[in-house]
Amino acid sequence: MSKPYRHDRHAETCLTTVARAVRQSCTRGLHAASLAALGLTAVGVQAQTAAPGTVPMPRVEITGSAIRQIESETPLPVQIVTREEIDKAGVTTAAELMSRISANVGGLTDGVSINVGGDQRGFNSANLRGIGTSSTLVLLNGRRMANFASPGDDSGVDLNNIPAAAIARVEVLMDGASALYGTDAIGGVINFITRKDFRGVEANVYRGATDEGGAGKKTATLSMGAGDLQADGYNVFAVLDVQSTEALRTSQRSFIPELRIPQQLGHLLSSWTSPGNIRLTSAQRDHLQEIGFLLNGRPITNRQINLSIPNCSPPANLYLPDGTGGVDACTYDYMGDTELYPKSNKQNLLTRGVLKLDANNQLYAEVALSRSRTSYVGSSARVTGYLDYRRIPALAGTGLDTLEDDDVPGEIEVRTRLSEAGNRTSELTSESQRYVIGLQGTVAGWDYDVGINHSVNTVKDKDTHGYLLYNELLEGIASGLINPFGPSGAEGQALIDRIQVNEEVRHARGTMDSIDFKASRALMPLAGGDLAMAFGGEVRRERTDFTPSALLMSDNINNDAAPEGGKATSDRRRVAAIFGEVQAPFTKEWQAQLSARYDHYEQVGGALSPKLGVSYTPAKWLMARASAGRGFRAPSMTDLYRPTVYSSTATLPDPVYCATVDNNYADCASNWDTRRYSNADLKPERSRQYSAGIVIEPTRYVTASLDYWNIRRTDLISEIGDDIILSNLDKYGDLVHRDEDDYIDYIELHKENRGAQVARGLDLMVDLHGIDTPVGRLGGRLNGTYVLKSKVQTGPGDPFVSNLGRFVTDMAVQRWRHTITFDWERGPLSTSLSNTYSSGYTDQNSAINVDDGSVVAANRVSSYSLWNLSGAWEVNRAWRVRAGVQNLADKSPPYSNQAYYFISGYDPTYTDPRGRRYYASLNYVFK
């Protein structure tokens, strides 16, 4: 329904000036704008006939269709976020914005990237429906960008490369769209749409701070443009955005001690401490017991001792007699010695120029440049060193050099943390360049658009602090220059400083070059409107290069080992595609959309993706819609060509070994070595999806929609989980390699097309708008996703494993997620109160403590609800002030016993450790 109930001069002017935009914020007085308001509203009810004297609704291109149409006529479930609502939410990055999308679950975040190793640090991604980052397509102005270049299991666009300050709106297609866009669009499409033209000058400054300190943010944005396309024949503008965020340490958050990690998650603690723990040989322990050596006033009982007990060095180094260090040593809690939120600096520049060639044709060019530099700080470096016992005063007279059973009599093993070297810090720089030049217009009744796209992503991984040259470090400990038990002398500190690594150790570059075109036109009139068609095609070349440094490959960086089998790689491929679409309004009530696309990937093969969408509008206030289609995801070049990766499992029991030790997990559970293999023979994943829903508008104040969606993927590109292999040795035992003593040597993990995935649920939208009261205009929106099923099958014949409301492997899919917003405005004043909510779920509940063989106590993760408040004052046409509070109730992340991520005690994929925070912004516009 697009007929305005309240038609006034403001609405008419606004429609005239934004003919190429989709209901910008200036349409505040127009009822049709309610369908595109912030709350991610669904689009759908058919446009009514405009009242006499009104300006016809503009026909625009909507995500999910190549045919220009009135926005509200589309049968597709498109959700829209406007610029105004982005400002109200107080978010400044695309990743922050995605956290407010109820259908986005399990995406990669900065919290996930905080670790001391692992692939794809710095990658911020979207994950619609929770079926995988690689199955959500992210576009910028309807075109692809180069994927995050660093090799790993996930592929997709790094949200750090999206020029957030230039976004005019975001369109989220909550349906499969391979029939139009090709690979990756199984879960849906997120299209970030920037300004298309701008005149004048606009400046914005933003400052944010947290209640407990840390994680403060500063941003500045400058937009400048000149030229009126109609009057001057050109427009050119640029938007520059600069942001900086401060780091947040665990010591700055009071909720970290409240998680009671040492007491509840003993399996995540470490015996590498500062001061260092001494690991005695059996002979050394027996000898010290025989001579009456006392520690803390008592005879020693274990092979692991620490001369500083019971003091140790809190808060990270603790005396926990029941912990992994035991009664005679210290235990290290790395959550007392790390960061929760990284320091970052981001710069984005978007510039666009349009030249009017004639009344119907335009030449345009677009340049988007971005750089995100983020420092991920983990725990202090650890090392196992060796030194002569006589260098330790407390042991100097004990005669340990007389023990003939030891390999090196008198040598002491020390497990220490290098606090003097500082925390291990990696600086990740993700840089993006995107150049587009194109021609669009109308020729002989055909609307056309043809463009050349050159897109590059470069990822630089640099060890900057806390990583030391390994051989020189061991020599320093053995010589006594570096003291593993306390502060080193001046010479030792100078040595530590001298052997600090400050070098780029991994360099990845991904390039995408493409030429695309599309054309559409009306063919003939039908009873409900014009029969229209579109067709188009694309030729694309993709290339990825990965280069590890010579220093990394020398295997001489402590805690950053050279990957066995690692080498520089360079892979490339060509892609070609054609597509077509037909839109047929058979009657005023019935409309159909039929589309299909064929893609061919070099070496991988081809995939045909058809789709049919239908809408039925029996009344002006009601529309029913449905769609069915097929999709695919082509294997990434990492899936196809990556060299063998050597890694390890989580702590898992070996059933064969456990059978010999009465299932004592203290003996038979460990972190087993793995070898992960790519597969050049992989084929595309396939999907079938369908949806059905209704959109109603019972009054001029209410719009609502309910959509059912169902996705089934087959031929999944995946590895059999190491936990699945060990729990089903009858079927997968040949993948477990054992030594002559029948202990596990390593486990094979192969990328293969195997298994299936099923996800289905409901999307609910309720929008209240334009409610005028004596105290002002009121509005409200609810957008929620209720998941009915989410499960994965490892291989043919294997049972499906559900992660709905359960943490499995690396994530949980919450059954219900929503965003609610309440708005008020009166004259120059406005406020917005919003809530984001994620339901609780059953925790991982499987981690094993190898010290005593116990399994972590079962837990249910509680729901997570955040309230935010913002207000704005439009001082005059030039100045606007906004201020807000995020996380009003200072809600902490709920406790979780998950052991998959480096950050422990909570799940970093969807929670925010920053707590209550305040922000204010000042905006100036001159035109």
pLDDT at position 60 is 67
For residue range 150-202, list pLDDT tens digits in order. Answer: 998 899 999 999 999 999 999 999 999 999 999 999 999 999 999 999 999 99
Q: Is the pLDDT of residue 272 over 80?
A: yes
Helix (H, G, I), strand (E, B) or coil at 395: helix
Q: Is the pLDDT of residue 24 over 80?
A: no
Q: Is the pLDDT of residue 35 over 80?
A: no
74 pLDDT band (50/70/90 cuts)? Answer: low
500 pLDDT band (50/70/90 cuts)? Answer: very high
pLDDT at position 19 is 31
Q: For residue 377, what are its two tokens?
A: 């700080």
Helix (H, G, I), strand (E, B) or coil at 493: helix
pLDDT at position 219 is 97
Q: Is the pLDDT of residue 438 over 50?
A: yes
CB of 561 closer than 8 Å to CB of 551: no
Sheet holding 669-677, edge to edge: 645-653, 669-677, 744-750, 736-738
CB of 327 closer than 8 Å to CB of 297: no
- Please state, in angstroms and rounded to a whole number, the distance separating the CA atoms of residues 778 and 394: 75
CB of 138 closer than 8 Å to CB of 155: no
Region class of 407: left (phi > 0), else alpha (psi between -120 and 50), else beta: alpha
Burial of 233 (0-12, 13-18, 19+ CB in 10 A): middle
- Please state, in angstroms and rounded to a whole number, the distance separating the CA atoms of residues 160 and 835: 24
Compute the mean pLDDT over every residue in the chain, rounded to the nearest whole number: 90
**CATH 2.40.170.20 residue spans of the chain:** 81-250+342-379+425-466+501-643+678-716+754-926
pLDDT at position 644 is 86
Determine the average pLDDT of the residues in 415-441.
96
pLDDT at position 58 is 58
Stronger pLDDT, 371 or 10, i.e. the higher one: 371
For residue range 237-270, list pLDDT tens digits in order. Answer: 999 999 999 999 999 999 999 999 998 988 889 9
563 pLDDT band (50/70/90 cuts)? Answer: confident
pLDDT at position 57 is 55
Cis peptide before 75 (omega within 30 of 0): no
Determine the average pLDDT of the residues in 27-39.
36
3-state helix, strand, coil in the chain (%, to 5): 15, 50, 35
For residue range 321-352, list pLDDT tens digits in order. Answer: 988 888 999 999 999 999 999 999 999 999 99
Instruction: State the first-to-last Cα distance of the chain, in angstroms, to the nearest integer.
Output: 34
Maximum CA pair distance of the chain?
A: 105
Report H helices in 851-906.
none
> Among the listed ranges 285-299, 443-457, 639-653, which one has the minimum average pLDDT value?
639-653
Amino acid symbol at 128? L
pLDDT at position 9 is 30
Report H helices in 433-486.
470-479
Instruction: Give buried/exposed letters for 664-692 (b at 16+ CB in 10 A, else e).
Output: ebebbbbebebbbebbeebbbbbbebbbb
- Please state, in angstroms and rounded to a whole number, the distance separating the CA atoms of residues 363 and 447: 14
Cα distances (angstroms) measured from residue 226 to each of 439, 582, 899: 20, 38, 54
Cα distances (angstroms) measured from residue 207 to each of 47, 91, 552: 42, 11, 39
62 pLDDT band (50/70/90 cuts)? Answer: confident
- Please state, in angstroms and rounded to a whole number, the distance separating the CA atoms of residues 767 and 784: 12
Determine the average pLDDT of the residues in 411-422.
95
Stronger pLDDT, 114 or 134, i.e. the higher one: 134
Q: For residue 352, what are its two tokens?
A: 């666009």
Q: For residue 627, what are its two tokens?
A: 């769609």
Percent of the chain whose pLDDT exceeds 70 = 92
pLDDT at position 21 is 32
pLDDT at position 643 is 85
pLDDT at position 64 is 86
pLDDT at position 2 is 34
- Please state, in angstroms and rounded to a whole number, the distance separating the CA atoms of residues 228 and 519: 26
> Which pTM was predicted?
0.90
pLDDT at position 56 is 56
Residue range 81-250+342-379+425-466+501-643+678-716+754-926 forms a domain whose CATH class is mainly beta
Q: Is the pLDDT of residue 707 over 90?
A: yes
Number of residues assigned to the chain: 927
